[in-house]
């Protein structure tokens, strides 16, 4: 069999295994420890898995910020969660496709809070039309990589300070990726497509940008751990599993992921959606997962082999630093 076909078969097998064949959770939200006094940010926390994450954190006495660009939807979600939990989350205006908004959100948070125990880089998009860009960048790249990178960098001083005050000496950054990262091409990152231009416009299948950005998420997460773990920052890349969410329903209909999601009947129950990221952010033992890739349900997974390429991770990190220089 030609090498290209072997690689495609292996990638598809890994994708299928992680998307749907992970068994049942042994760890549940009932295992979350008491979070009294702890502060969390959940980007995209007004809907889907993010909203479920906020709910579970509130149920365990956390102080939680719902970071989203849509104030109306966020306030409605906060009201709903208050009715369900008796605890009120806080709204943080944040548009990850706008670096000025990211800076304003970080400044607002830093002027209000004196600690940050966990940052959930949870927000995601799918299927944005090719003509829609964010300040000249591909929308998936900006939303999944550049925006979260900038937000994380701005909040790192508070994360490291919080780690020093905690008994376990760690604060956490949980970065949501996807089993779809296995479906990247070769090379896995095409830097010329990060910004709008001829190379980006050659791509007709929007799933390319999603898969590439989720691969890059793992590189970023791993490099963050390498650079800041000795300062108490635990960084974990999490694949939450395969669920029927509004995010997935917007996937390009021609993509492999969309076809499999549409026609296969083994989607996980919605109540399991937030389990893996909650484990990564709250379970004491998840400290050991820093710099690793976590598959459902809190198990160390096997990501695409090239996510272990340190040279590529550094190249991405330097590229991202250049994009925020002077801001």
Which residues are marked as active site? Answer: 210
Extended beta strands in 82-213, E state = 90-93, 118-121, 133-134, 137-138, 171-176
Extended beta strands in 139-183, E state = 171-176
**CA dist list (Å): 133 to 53, 128, 253:** 29, 9, 20
Q: For the purposes of burial, counting CB atoms within 10 Å of the CB of 243, is it exposed (0-12), middle (13-18) or buried (19 or more)?
A: buried
Q: Are 225 and 234 in contact (CB under 8 A)?
A: yes
Q: Enter the tokens of residue 153.
A: 């960098």
Q: Are 281 and 174 in contact (CB under 8 A)?
A: yes
What does the alpha-carbon distance between residue 277 and residue 25 come to, in Å, rounded to a whole number? 12
């Amino acid at each position: 069999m030609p090498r290209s076909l072997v690689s495609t078969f292996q990638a598809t097998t890994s994708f299928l295994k992680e998307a749907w064949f992970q068994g049942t959770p042994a760890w549940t939200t009932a295992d979350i420890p008491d979070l009294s006094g702890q502060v969390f940010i959940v980007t995209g926390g007004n809907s889907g898995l993010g909203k479920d994450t906020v709910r579970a954190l509130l149920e365990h006495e956390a102080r939680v910020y719902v970071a989203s660009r849509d104030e109306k939807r966020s306030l409605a979600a906060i009201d709903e969660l208050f009715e369900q939990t008796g605890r009120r989350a806080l709204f943080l205006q944040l548009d990850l496709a706008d670096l000025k908004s990211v800076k304003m959100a970080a400044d607002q948070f830093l002027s209000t809070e004196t600690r940050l125990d966990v940052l959930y880089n949870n927000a995601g998009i799918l299927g944005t039309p090719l003509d829609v860009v964010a300040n000249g960048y591909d929308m998936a790249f900006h939303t999944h990589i550049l925006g979260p990178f900038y937000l994380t960098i701005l909040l790192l001083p508070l994360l490291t300070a919080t780690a020093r005050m905690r008994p376990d000496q760690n604060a956490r950054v949980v970065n949501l990726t996807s089993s779809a990262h296995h479906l990247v091409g070769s090379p896995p990152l095409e830097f010329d497509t990060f910004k709008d231009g001829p190379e980006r416009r050659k791509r007709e299948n929007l799933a390319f940008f999603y898969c590439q950005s989720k691969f890059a998420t793992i590189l970023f997460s791993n490099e963050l751990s390498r650079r800041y773990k000795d300062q108490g920052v635990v960084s974990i890349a999490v694949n939450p599993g395969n669920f029927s969410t509004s995010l997935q329903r917007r996937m390009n209909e021609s993509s492999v992921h969309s076809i499999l999601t549409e026609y296969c009947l083994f989607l996980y129950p919605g109540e399991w959606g937030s389990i893996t990221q909650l484990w990564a952010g709250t379970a004491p033992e998840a400290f050991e997962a820093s710099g690793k890739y976590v598959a459902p349900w809190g198990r160390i997974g096997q990501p695409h082999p090239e996510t272990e390429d340190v040279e590529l991770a550094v190249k991405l990190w330097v590229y991202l630093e250049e994009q925020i220089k002077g801001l």
